[in-house]
Amino acid sequence: MKATDLLRFINNNDVEYHWLKDDKDVILCVMNYQIQAFYSLLDATIFDDEGIKCIMRDGYFVFDMMQICDYYDINIEDVFEKIK
């Protein structure tokens, strides 16, 4: 996955995200009906070892994007705008 792929997915699907208080990590909130599209962005090798940790909420999944961006060598600030 490239930064442009992730950015396109977020923008085209109006996916919600939030910077954490320390401004060093982002959580991405992927709705249940969007999960297959998000999954298709990822290579199967990212699921080796421990896989991807997420939190399942009512109607959506929450992903720690630092782990995913680091894996793909994506600068998190290139994808996620900091809103002040």
Rounded Cα gap, residues 21 and 5, in angstroms: 26
Q: How many domains does the chain have?
A: 1
What is the pLDDT, as a whole number, of residue 76? Answer: 92
Q: Which amino acid is at 73?
A: D
Among residues 28, 27, 23, the alpha carbon closest in space to that of 9 is found at 28
Asked if residue 51 belongs to a domain, the reply is yes
What are the E-state strand segments in the chain? 16-19, 26-31, 54-57, 60-64
81: pLDDT confidence band, cut at 50, 70 and 90?
A: confident
Asked if residue 83 belongs to a domain, the reply is no
Q: How far is CA 3 from the centre of its chain?
A: 11
Asked if residue 33 belongs to a domain, the reply is yes
> pLDDT tens-digit profile of 18-40?
998 777 789 999 999 999 999 99
What is the pLDDT, as a whole number, of residue 58? Answer: 95
Question: 37 lies in which domain range?
Answer: 3-78
DSSP state of 37: H
